[in-house]
């Protein structure tokens, strides 16, 4: 973990420094003039970190993370000692290239640099935000850390709930934007250099993403190039002297990662998958097929209904609340199982956003046809679909029609995000207490979502959606893996390597989604000679399925847990939400009139998180 503090009045206040030092006997300090930087060693054995400074102490650097192109970067600085630390390497790179240096760094990292030339602290985060980094920038002092907790309680950064972050969370079940749940504490933006100055905060991009449409290209050549880049990306994540695992669902992304790992490793590979029993929810057999094919030491983790109650312990490890209908619990269970056997795991996160794998992209195509019909003509039919009863299956025609109709009402300006929003303004008005709704009435997080959708000039429909998802959905995916990190197992992300992202962003949309609904076509083509036919040709990918909606209705351990967390007394005590609205959702869900699983789970996670962090 890294933490730091800069006093603008030239005095390193002992009480604040001791606040950071607490419990970290090996913490190091850099003190010069008004600056005080503290480094605390990482809790993850395979995660690098360190401290370095120039001889004149005008520059000092602390960092945490993993550098996947260390050898290449060292070749750019031949005068550096062979046994120099990565911290020294990064400092030398910044000394030479300034704010453009991070464009040369690959991997996942959180870096802070004291730059005396401008009396500034430079905060640098990897391109997708895999490593967390937060800051407070006030008039008297600035502080930063790889966790929010050490920053809260400092003068000016008291534990005050940020209503903008809460609003966004209720809509999406996570908060991808720079605000955090603590007023005054912000996230350093991925792919940016954030400079904390006495005059304010300056943000300088060192990486941009572009999904602009390209002309006709040869699909075979593209697929061959893609396989080669995927292989390099996987290879760059491997540590030769540490036991390695992978989180294996049996889908295209995790299967591709495993197959390419096996090409480089003769040593054991440990694979971990979870299993939820139930019709249309159990896809564990595909993970077993991959394990058998590539000779892994496979562990299948049972995910029973009672396990979702462990969200009550998981909130301790969340800087902010986030949830995805139980998938975050699955990550927690897998991390727990991997602990003690492997020190790091590779994941398939990012493949859906590179190759067009999310079902919402198919919904976008259908919506283009529906949106061409005047809304007054379509609205009655869509309203009728919303009254369809829910099904116990994850996906069937009724479920799809009902969800499509509910989300269609948000309009096309939100792009793919309209399929992921859980409240209309009327429903949110009913859920919020009068005091909270007054605060919400001044805010519009949907406008930020619209802005991300418009951010890729020249892109087609899918390109704009992919661009937006890299600013939003990807930021949720990396936080979900924090549940693996809770067990001192480091997640690594081959699909987040910059060269692979840049290459994939230029693949035409028609080769990502072929025809009406064949998603990830180019990835299938790239891997068809590598993966078993059962994986390449499978039609029933469910996307990490957890039958939470059924458990709430049919499993007393889950239903009683939610009723307890969401009781009238618990909700009324906090004064944020309307207890009657929550009880109505529970009733509608249990009677199968609606599927409120995501909403109820998000509110329960929020309540537990607030109890843990904002009492």
Could you give the CA distance from residue 454 to residue 472 in angstroms, rounded to a whole number? 13
**Which residues are bridge partners to 170 per DSSP?**
none
| Angle in degrees, 0-180, between the axes of helices 163-172 and 597-613, rounded to the nearest 10 | 150
The domains of the chain, with CATH numbers, are: 2-205 (3.60.20.10), 219-355+463-536 (3.40.50.620)
Asked if pLDDT for residue 45 goes beyond 80, the answer is: no
Give tens-digit pLDDT for 561-611: 999 999 999 999 999 999 999 999 999 999 998 889 999 999 999 999 999
State the pLDDT at residue 1.
76
Q: Distance (Å, rounded) from C-alpha 433 to C-alpha 36?
A: 43
Residue 43's pLDDT band (boundaries 50, 70, 90)? low
User: Is the pLDDT at 247 greater than 90, yes or no?
Assistant: yes
Q: According to the model, what pLDDT value does residue 338 have? A: 97
419: Cα within 13 Å, side-chain hemisphere: 21
Q: Is the pLDDT of residue 90 over 90?
A: yes
What does the pLDDT read at residue 544? 66
pLDDT above 90: percentage of residues in the chain? 63
* 8 Å CB contact between 314 and 486: yes
Lowest mean pLDDT, pick from 21-30, 360-369, 474-483: 21-30
Tokens 């994941």 belong to which residue?
347
User: Where do the H-state alpha helices sit in 32-135?
Assistant: 70-75, 86-97
Nearest one of 516, 468, 514 to 368, comparing CA atoms: 516
Share of the chain above pLDDT 70, in %: 89
Question: What distances in angstroms separate CA 178 from CA 36, 147, 481, one per listed residue?
Answer: 25, 14, 19
pLDDT tens digits for range 504-533:
999 999 999 998 889 999 999 999 999 999
Best-predicted range by mean pLDDT (89-98, 151-160, 456-465):
89-98
Mean pLDDT throughout 202-223?
88
Residues 153/145, Cβ–Cβ less than 8 Å: no
Angle at 205 between CA 203 and CA 208, to 5 degrees: 150
Cβ atoms < 10 Å from Cβ of 45: 11
State the residue for tokens 């503290």.
38
Which 3 state secondary structure label does DSSP give 561?
A: helix
**How far is residue 490's CA from residue 512's CA, in Å, rounded to a whole number?**
30
Tell me how far apart the alpha carbons of residues 584 and 569 are, in angstroms, rounded to a whole number.
15
Give residue 31's pLDDT.
45
- The token duo for 60 is 């000092």
Tell me, what's the pLDDT at 32?
Answer: 44
Q: Is the pLDDT of residue 179 over 90?
A: yes
- Structure confidence by residue, pLDDT tens digits, 101-130: 999 999 999 999 988 888 889 999 999 999
| pTM of the entire predicted model | 0.92
Mean residue pLDDT across the chain: 88
Average pLDDT over residues 424-446: 93
Q: What confidence score (pLDDT) does residue 340 get? A: 93
Q: Which residues pair with 134 in a beta bridge?
A: 145, 187
Give the CA count within 13 Å in the CB-facing half-sphere of 155.
11
- State the Cα–Cα distance between residues 143 and 196, nearest whole angstrom: 9
Is the model more confident about 257 or about 451?
Answer: 257
Q: Given the DSSP bridges, would you call strands 344-346 and 244-247 parallel, antiparallel or unpaired?
A: parallel
Question: What percentage of the chain's residues is helix, strand, coil (to nearest 5)?
Answer: 45, 15, 35
Query: Hey, what are 269's tokens?
Result: 């590979």
> What pLDDT is attached to residue 33?
41
Backbone angles phi, psi at 162, to 5 degrees: -90, 115
Copy the structure tokens of residue 268: 């054991």
- For the ranges 158-167, 252-261, 289-298, the lowest mean pLDDT is seen at 158-167
Q: What is the mean pLDDT of residues 41-67?
A: 78
**Residue 15 pLDDT:** 59
Provide the pLDDT for residue 571: 96
Q: Tell me, letter by letter, the H, E, C secondary structure of 321-336.
A: CCCCCCHHHHHHHHHH
Return the SS3 of 584. helix
The angle formed by the CA atoms of residues 118, 120 and 124, to the nearest 5 degrees, is: 125
Mean pLDDT of 359-386: 80
Residue 300 confidence (pLDDT) above 60: yes
- Specify which of 42-46, 376-380, 542-546 reaches the highest per-range mean pLDDT: 376-380
One-letter-per-residue 3-state SS of 471-520:
HCHHHHHHHHCHHHHCCCCEEECHHHCHHHHHHHHCCCHHHCCECCCECC
Which residues face 197 on adjacent strands?
Answer: 200
pLDDT score recorded for residue 25: 46
Residue 375: per-residue pLDDT: 77
Q: Has residue 196 got a pLDDT over 90?
A: yes
CB 475 within 8 A of CB 188: no
Q: Tell me, what's the pLDDT at 278? A: 67
- How far apart are the C-alpha atoms of 115 and 275, rounded to whole Å? 50
């Amino acid at each position: 973990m890294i933490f730091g503090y800069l006093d603008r009045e030239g005095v390193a206040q002992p009480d604040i420094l001791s606040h950071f030092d607490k419990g970290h006997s090996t913490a190091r300090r850099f003190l010069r003039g008004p600056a005080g930087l503290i480094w605390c060693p990482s809790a993850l054995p395979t995660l690098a970190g360190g401290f370095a400074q120039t001889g004149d102490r005008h520059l000092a650097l602390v960092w945490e993370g993993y550098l996947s192109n260390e050898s290449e970067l060292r070749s750019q600085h031949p005068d550096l000692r062979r046994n120099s630390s990565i911290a020294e390497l990064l400092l030398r790179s910044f000394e030479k290239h300034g704010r453009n240096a991070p464009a040369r760094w690959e991997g996942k990292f959180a870096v802070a640099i004291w730059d005396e030339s401008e009396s500034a602290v430079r905060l640098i985060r990897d391109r997708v935000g895999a490593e967390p980094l937060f800051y407070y920038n006030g008039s008297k002092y600035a502080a930063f850390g790889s966790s929010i907790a050490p920053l809260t309680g400092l003068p000016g950064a008291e534990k005050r709930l940020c209503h903008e972050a809460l609003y966004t969370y209720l809509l999406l079940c996570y908060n991808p934007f720079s605000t955090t749940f603590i007023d005054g504490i912000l996230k350093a933006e991925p792919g940016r250099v954030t400079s904390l100055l006495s005059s304010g905060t300056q943000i300088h991009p060192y990486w941009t993403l572009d999904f602009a449409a390209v002309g006709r290209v040869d699909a075979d050549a593209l697929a061959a190039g893609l396989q080669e880049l995927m292989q390099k990306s996987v290879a760059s994540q491997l540590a030769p002297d540490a036991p390695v695992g992978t989180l294996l669902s049996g889908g295209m992304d995790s299967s591709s990662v495993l197959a390419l790992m096996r090409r480089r490793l003769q040593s054991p590979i440990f694979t971990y998958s979870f299993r939820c029993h139930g019709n249309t929810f159990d896809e564990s057999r595909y993970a077993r097929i991959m394990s058998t094919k590539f000779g892994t030491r496979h562990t299948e983790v049972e995910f029973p209904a009672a396990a979702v109650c462990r969200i009550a312990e998981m909130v301790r490890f969340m800087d902010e609340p986030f949830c995805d209908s139980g998938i975050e619990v699955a990550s927690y269970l897998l991390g727990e199982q991997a602990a003690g056997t492997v020190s790091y795991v590779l994941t398939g996160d990012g493949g859906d956003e590179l190759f067009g794998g999310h079902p919402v992209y198919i919904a976008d195509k259908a919506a283009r046809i529906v949106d061409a019909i005047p809304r007054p003509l379509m609205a009655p039919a869509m309203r009728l679909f919303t009254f369809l009863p829910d099904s116990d299956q994850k996906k069937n025609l009724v479920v799809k029609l009902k969800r499509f109709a509910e989300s269609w009402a948000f309009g096309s300006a939100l792009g793919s995000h309209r399929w992921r929003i859980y409240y209309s303004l009327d429903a949110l008005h009913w859920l919020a207490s009068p005091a909270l709704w007054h605060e919400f009435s001044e805010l519009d997080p949907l406008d930020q979502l619209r802005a991300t959708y418009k951010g890729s000039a020249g892109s087609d429909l899918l390109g704009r959606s992919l661009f937006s998802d890299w600013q939003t959905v990807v930021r949720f995916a990396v936080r979900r893996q924090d549940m693996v990190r809770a067990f001192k197992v480091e997640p690594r992300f081959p699909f987040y390597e910059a060269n692979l992202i840049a290459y994939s962003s230029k693949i035409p949309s028609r080769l990502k989604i072929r025809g009406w609904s064949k998603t990830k076509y180019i990835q299938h083509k790239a891997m068809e000679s590598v993966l078993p036919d059962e994986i390449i040709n499978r039609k029933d990918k469910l996307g990490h399925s957890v039958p939470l909606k059924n458990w709430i209705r049919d499993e007393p351990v889950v239903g009683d847990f939610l009723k307890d967390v969401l009781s009238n007394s618990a909700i009324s005590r906090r004064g944020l939400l309307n207890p009657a609205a929550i009880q109505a959702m529970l009733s509608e869900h249990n009677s199968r009139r609606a599927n409120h699983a995501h909403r109820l789970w998000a509110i329960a996670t929020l309540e537990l998180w607030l109890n843990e962090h904002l009492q």
